[in-house]
Each structure stands twice: as C-alpha cells, then as structure tokens.
Structure 1
C-alpha cells in the first residue's frame, strides 16, 4: 500500500472515530508498527492529527461541537456498549435523568422493560424515542438548541431545581484528569451542573475519544460522578484513578 493511500485511510478512520489506536492500525492496514508510527508522525507534522499514548486523536478546539447527525455516526459500537452498561445500573421505580446527546440516546433500545421508571430529559429526540417504547417521560421546557437538539436556558435550570433524581446519565465532550468534565457551550454546562446538584448518583458516558479532551465550559470535577467508558488501556485510565469509580464496558 502506498504511503498516501495508507495515510488517507488513517485520516478517514480518525474522522469517523475521533481516536485511533496504533495496534488497530497495524492490523487493519497490514503494516509494521514502525511504519504506522512514521505515518502518524508525518500527519502530526502536517497538522492533521495529534499523537497520544498508543495512537492518535483528531484535532479539536475548545469550542468544537459536532452536531447530532455527525455525532450519531461516530463510535457507534462503543456508545452502544457503554449504553448497555449504563442501563444495567437503573433499578425499578427510579427517577432517572437522561442528558441530551447520542451517548444517552444509545441507552433507549435497552430500556424497553423499564416501565416503572420515570425519565426526565432535556433531549427532544430522546423524549420521542422514549415515548415510542412507552417509558413515562417528562421533557423540560426552554430554548431548543438546533445543533444538539437539547433544551437549554434559565427556564430549564429553574425547573431542574424542583426535581430530585436517583440517577443521572450524562454525555460529555471532554474528560480530563486536571480540567474535569467539560462541554463547548456554557448554557449546556449550566443545565448539566443543575442536574448533577439534584442527583443521588451521576454517571458520565465517555467513549475513548473523549478522554484527555478539554472543551470551553467546565461542568464538574471528575469526582462528581462515575465514569462509564470503553477505554481499556490501563496506562490511560491510571490518570483517572482519583475518580469516584470507573466502569469499563465490555468490548
């Protein structure tokens, strides 16, 4: 395989998944470790990716925020496995909050037997899908953010303060050992903080591409919840050992 062809495949996979692992590239591209390392170095020198331990990640800015359509095509398998693990934490009769986003939306196919659970959400798409499987759902009202289909704003925050939740499941844009849980939009961050303050137990759903990422607005410290992730590289996870708990989804 020509260098240009190999590097094009690397960038295509990175665009799809957000993060790529060195050993996966070695296997998928049938190339040596040294060859892939050289490719990653060249692509980083060209400003097309950022090398990290064991692989590479896409370049992002503090304000980068993909829309729902773009996010729905990324890391689909990882999100499904994390979602399955998340639903296993829910108990009959609980009041659960599902944050707007594709990671929490992936939980809904596993929730069809939770007919005694009440779900509160700020996700328009989530509310519709929950209704389709006859899960009792409360959709909070406020301003609709077109890109993420999330309800945000001061009205949402005031409404949330009137509720209590047994469990909160929250999608995140960045999970960093120093900067904590972050998201690009301060308005969404405000809603997330209000929700966390009303929760008995909170879970952050983060596929491997979200680890060591930082966005503009801080939501919470890492200790505010339990991290649910598909990342299984212990060298990466050791940076997050001060979390309350880390739960790894099955591959």
Structure 2
C-alpha cells in the first residue's frame, strides 16, 4: 500500500473515532510500527493530526475550549495521578493558588498539609475546600458559562491582593517554542498574573497537552515546573532541557542541569 493511501485511511478513521492507537493502526494497515510512526509524523507536520503517546488524535481548534462536563470525563486516571503528585508538593502553613480546572479540582481530596490557605477562581473548588475544612478565598468576577472559571478585570484586581508560596495552574497546550497556552485571552491573563504572584508555579496537565498550542500564551515553559502523567514521544524530550518535569506514572523527576527551581 502506498504512503498516500495509508495516510488517507488514517485520516478517515481519525475523523470517525477522534483518537487512534498505534497498535490498532499497525494491525489495520498491515504495516510495520516504524512505517505507521512515519506516516503519523508526516501528517502531523502537515497539521492534519496530533501525535500523542501510543497513537494520534484530532487537532483541536486553537480557540475552542471544552466545557467542564466534557473535560471531567477525559483522561480520568491520568488526572488523578497528576493531582495526587501535585498535592504532595504542598507543605504545612503555605498559601497557594488553585486555578479553576478539572485537574486542580482533583487535587483537593489529596491535600494532606496542615494549616493551608487557598485562593481560587473556581467556585467548585471553593465548595470542595469548604467541605474539607480548608481555609479558602474565592475571588470574584465574571464566571464563564462553559468552564465555570471566574475571570475578568474584577478577578484580576482581587487576585492582586494576594501573594502565594505556590500556584497550581492548568494549561491546554505545552510547547517548547510557544510556551504554556490556553484558548481564552482573559483566562490566560489571570493565569499569567497568578504565576507572577507566586514564589513557585506548577503547571499540571496530562501528556495529551504536549506539543499542543492554543490561542493565548500564558508564560514561557521555563517559568514553571510541569507535573504530568508521563513524558510523551512528541515534544517531551525537548522540554527536559528547559524546565523540571514531574512524571506521575514513574514518580520520577526530570530536570536539566541548567534548570533552577
């Protein structure tokens, strides 16, 4: 089978199921793993798909953002592993910022540190923190319909009243050249502000976000520690030389000699 034929089959199947596993493609196309990997690499270079660990997925439009319910159902086990590792970074008596998002929400049950103060722009986070009897400040502002995150100038003014030991921030895209990105300009501005107000920032995101670029830049990859489930084949190794990366699957820490955190 010619490369063009294989690639057309890949794109047709991807349009149907949105995510394809490498081993399924090897079997269906009756081709070697190296051949299929090469096809995926060529299609990614043409911006027709995105390679992820163990396969490929459809590209998401840069300005498109999934709603809270859809996000909650995606990569559930990976998010729990990431959330547990992220919560382990919190120490007694610290003041932290928890960004609105499904993975940061998963962190709350795993918080074990004592006398922690949390500031968040996530109403759902505030409810969970109150249930856990954690002191919480919920910043005010406009709540987005889709993600329920509080954003806008009022939220920015509220946020500026605080200073944090650590901030835990979600991202839709992680790319060496383009940095950490998210679809919404106002939400990107609030995440950027939280990073500036924190002594240390962690970006928590599953491995599907690597090499993805959304519409708005938050900050550079060397301005935060990354906590993820695993280091993907595409885009992962380049990041090791730029920042510290915690991988929940192996409980390992990857760091270049030049990374200072």
Aligned residue in 2 for 1:86: 86
Alignment RMSD: 3.0
- Number of paired residues? 235
Rate the CA distance shift 1:220–1:110 in 2: closer, same or farther, 3 A: same
Hey, what's the Cα distance between the residues in 1 that align with 2:149 and 2:67?
Answer: 11
Confirm whether residue 174 of structure 1 aligns to residue 181 of structure 2: no
Rate the CA distance shift 1:135–1:154 in 2: closer, same or farther, 3 A: same
Deviation (angstroms), 1:234: 5.7
User: Which string of whole-angstrom CA distances, capped at 9 and with x for unpartnered residues, describes residues 94-147 of structure 1?
Assistant: 001000000101101212x33410010000111111111111111001111111
Hey, what's the Cα distance between the residues in 2 that align with 1:118 and 1:31?
Answer: 54
Aligned residue in 2 for 1:226: 225
User: Which string of whole-angstrom CA distances, capped at 9 and with x for unpartnered residues, describes residues 127-184 of structure 1?
Assistant: 1111111111110011111111111011111221221100100010000111001110
TM-score, structure 1 normalization = 0.83
Hey, what's the Cα distance between the residues in 1 that align with 2:184 and 2:210?
Answer: 18
User: Which string of whole-angstrom CA distances, capped at 9 and with x for unpartnered residues, describes residues 14-54 of structure 1?
Assistant: 2xxxxx5524x479x8996648939x86xx79x9x615275
Q: Which deviates more, 177-186 or 231-240?
A: 231-240
Hey, what's the Cα distance between the residues in 2 that align with 1:118 and 1:163?
Answer: 11
Hey, what's the Cα distance between the residues in 2 that align with 1:209 and 1:87?
Answer: 21
Q: Is the 8 A contact 1:114 1:135 kept in 2?
A: no
SS at match of 2:218: strand
Aligned residue in 2 for 1:206: 205
Q: Any gaps of 5 or more consecutive residues in structure 2?
A: 1-8, 251-261
Q: How does 1:89-238 map to 2 (within 5 A)?
A: 89-111=89-111, 113-233=112-232, 236-238=235-237
Rate the CA distance shift 1:9–1:242 in 2: closer, same or farther, 3 A: closer
TM-score, structure 2 normalization = 0.80
Aligned residue in 2 for 1:17: none
Q: Is the 8 A contact 1:227 1:243 kept in 2?
A: no
SS at match of 1:187: helix
Confirm whether residue 55 of structure 1 aligns to residue 66 of structure 2: no
Q: Any gaps of 5 or more consecutive residues in structure 1?
A: 15-19
Deviation (angstroms), 1:12: 3.9
Rate the CA distance shift 1:134–1:61 in 2: closer, same or farther, 3 A: same
